[in-house]
Chains A and B, each alone.
Chain A
Amino acid sequence: MLSWLPENISSYGAQIDQLFYVIYYVTGVTFFLVQGALIAFLLMYRHREGRRATYTHGNTALEIAWTIAPAVLLVILGVVSRSVWADIKQHVPPSDVVAQITAKQFNWEIAYPGPDGKIGTEDDFTMDNELHVPVDKTVRLILKSRDVIHSFFIPQARFKQDLVPGHEIPAWFKILKPGTYEIPCAELCGFGHSGMKGTLFVHTQAEYEAWARENKAAPVGAAPANAS
């Protein structure tokens, strides 16, 4: 099962995968113990001539044991999960780069700050479905939606967050490996949901600077003008 996980490329992906492995081994052992006991009992106590079942209504000590054991295990799992969750979703670390994603049926509209370095000003540069980021840098995202709920999913980065109309949701990631990765929409958003995807371009620092020089200077509205 573990080998089916896509390669991880983000800084916190390893923590998520570790938790996944822990749960995988804990549930895996439980699975084999329970199913093993089930099959063993079915074989050992199958009906034979002259067999009579043991007349018992239960055992209080056992009940207490198998109430406490899973409870302790699950609460520990919850506590460990909580700290990883807080690192990923509750605290956005100081960021090097920022981008704003506005989802709409059926595209990711991605805005980068212009020369003033701020999002939401006149000189922002926007493009559809292409998110360019530098490797090894903390990228802060502002997630919005224009129409329905979408979900920004980067499987390899272990990143997923819904984009909700009326909300501005902060998020972040740090990618450790250059390359191009798909960004599917993971929340049903209409007839074009399937195929709604963008591409994440993770550049080396030098490549990224070149890309930024080429594009960021562009004033708003330049892209359509160029197209015509």
Chain B
Amino acid sequence: MSEAIHHAEARHADAHHEVGFIRHYIFSTDHKMIGKQFLAQGLTMFLVGGLLALLVRWELAWPEQPVPGFGWVPEPTMFGGIIPPETYNGFFTMHATIMIFFAVMPILVGAFGNFLIPLMIGARDMAFPLLNMLSFWVSFTAGLLMLSSFFVEGGPAAGGWTSYAPLSSVPVYTGVYMGQNLWCISLMVLGVSSLMGSINYITTVINMRAPGMSWFRLPLVIWSLFITAILLLLSLPVLTSALAMLLFDRMAGTQFFLPSGGGEPLLWQHLFWFFGHPEVYILILPAMGIASDILSVFSRKPIFGYRAMAFSMIGIAFLSWVVWGHHMFQSGMSPALGNAFMLSTMVIAVPSAIKTFNWLGTLWRGDIHFTTPMLNAIAFVSMFVIGGLSGIYMASTPVDIFIHDTYYIVAHIHYVVFGGSIFGAFAAIYYWFPKMYGRMMNETLGKIHFWLTFVFFNGTFFPMHIIGVGGHMRRIYNPTQYDFLKPIQHWNVFITICALCLGASQIIFLINFFWSLFAGKTASKNPWNANTLEWEAPTPPPHGNFPGPLPTVYRGPYEYSSPEVPEDFLPQARRLEGRRPAAAH
């Protein structure tokens, strides 16, 4: 470890020369700039994905009616603003693909992983800064490839984000040719970016912790990003190999997924979900870490059950490898396997329950400050509870028979990924914005944005449970084609109106973000009176993060309201007089 620090010191010494615009803002090797680049990519793609969602919602509420303002879209993508079924399938496929791979992952893992890991463990940069820069630009390329599929003949991939074979593997079944190939290639390229990023995160956390920063003094957000990186490292290659097989089936005449050539359609599902279920935890674990830190800071109270929190995340990571079959209960997989996967799925709910109780324990007898990051973190807990509880229905194999492939599943995934990951992302942006950009975000606008998002989020996604219980299938183009869905069509209208308002509410966030970027109140070094190391660095932190020697860590990250000091916080790096610093573990 000490040798790694020596190297970092050496690099720090020669990094003080001024760099030009291109090296500073574009091809930067500084983890903070790379984090901001990922944030920009993620937020831009969040807007694209959100717009696609609204188009999908329009179609469901007012089927085959022209979308206002979209009359200019050329045929055959739209017909005078009317969305045809082929385009509709492309829209929801790209909505999910973009949101999962190019919005939530870049924001939570790319942006905050990069920005926070070196600062919070007390390092000058990542272990491999050049690899880090490459990781962003490869991810950027993957994003461009994915977006380019909107402009090729036949449109983008239209087989769902899960791209079940043979629908996805035989072009004639969807009528999509180049679009699906680009989808495969883009995600393979993204896999390379994720590999570079995850190797970097893992190496950095293992080797470059500041003196005194033992494993159990790491903030939970670092634990969560470390575990996420391990999941990424192990799961993405599985997706990449499945994608390679899919691409070969499409372009080289192999038949991995076609029974006529000895292939097996269910093989795709096994490979996809073997990646896909850890992926769900890749999306939620960083948000869990973020919420843990922010809840502790604004309750002015140590996190309840720190070790239980860390171990439950490790437990989730291990179990996430043995639950993939719960996506496949009705797939034709042996029903006997359903029992095993049901049991493992029931078990993985336990660590999530432990985390929830510990978050409640953190708030209990705290001194709660309702700042914007705190409101978002509380919403994360509250919404994650709903997403977790609704998951129990589909874990029960018999109940899953009915709700599988209905809007109940759509409601569940959105309570986890929007209610969980996105509220976690908003909490993180509001909380770390001052450290990233040196200015505070506006609290009033932040609270308005929070409350509107919270209300319209629930208005959009809660009724999806209801129509799901009514039997409303996912991915249908026109619900009014079914007699049994006609009595619940009014819910689709309600959901779409809420979704449009939810989309509009994000404009307030954008205004706040850009206004604060240039005109926000200048942030002090430690505006939230927090304990962790990033607040020891100047705001915003210079190249190399910590002027002078690296901070030494004397205690855990959550010493709030400690009886040892009169203030209600006790930073990790503050040495108390008359005490010997604790030895590094």
Contacts and interface: CB of A to CB of B under 8 A. Distances in A.
Q: Answer whether A and B are interacting partners.
A: yes
A63 B305 contact: yes
B341 to A, nearest CB: 10
Contacts of B287: none
B308 interface: yes
Contacts of B386: 31
A27 B561 contact: no
A125 B175 CA distance: 32
A123 B446 CA distance: 71
B442 interface: no
A86 to B, nearest CB: 8
Interface string A167-209: 1010000000000011011111111111101000000000000
A75 interface: yes
Nearest to A158: B402
A97 interface: no
Contacts of A192: 85
Interface in B384-414: 385-386, 389-390, 392-393, 395-399, 401-402, 404-406
Given A38-B360, A66-B353, A155-B484, A6 B471 contact: yes
Interface in A54-98: 54-59, 62-63, 66-67, 70-71, 74-75, 77-78, 81-82, 84-86, 88-90
B392 A77 contact: yes
Interface string B471-488: 101111110011110001
A160 B401 contact: yes
Interface string B256-283: 0011100111100000000000000000
A149 interface: yes
A50 B402 CA distance: 54
Given A15-B398, A194-B481, A153 B360 contact: no
B144 interface: no
Nearest to B394: A23
Contact of B167 (A55, A58, A189): A189
Contacts of B367: 45, 47, 51-53
A221 B453 CA distance: 59
Interface string A114-158: 000000000000000000000000000000000111010101101
B266 A164 contact: yes
B369 interface: yes
Contacts of B563: 55
Given A27-B392, A30-B389, A58-B358, A52 B561 contact: yes
B332 A62 contact: no
Interface string B301-341: 11111111000000000000000000000111001101100
Contacts of A19: 396, 398-399
Contacts of B356: 34
Nearest to A192: B85
Nearest to B335: A89
B70 interface: no
B332 A161 contact: yes
B151 interface: no
B471 A191 contact: no
B121 interface: no
B363 interface: yes
Contacts of B305: 57-59, 62-63
A42 B259 contact: no
B152 to A, nearest CB: 17
B86 interface: yes
A160 B361 CA distance: 42
A20 interface: yes
Given A85-B397, A161-B330, A54 B469 contact: no
Q: Quick one: which of A23, A53, A148, A158 has the most chain B CB within 10 A?
A: A53
B154 to A, nearest CB: 11
Interface string B27-71: 000000000000000000000000000000000000000000000
Contacts of B338: 85, 89
Given A19-B399, A151-B330, A159-B401, A70 B360 contact: no
Given A74-B350, A82-B339, A148 B466 contact: no
Contacts of B159: 188
Q: Quick one: which of B166, B466, B560 has the most chain A CB within 10 A?
A: B166
5 A-B pairs closest in CB distance: A166-B259, A194-B477, A155-B471, A53-B301, A58-B305
26 contacts: A2-B469, A6-B484, A19-B396, A20-B402, A31-B385, A41-B368, A47-B368, A53-B365, A53-B366, A53-B560, A54-B364, A57-B304, A62-B361, A66-B354, A74-B349, A81-B398, A82-B339, A82-B397, A86-B339, A160-B401, A166-B265, A167-B259, A184-B473, A186-B405, A186-B406, A188-B89
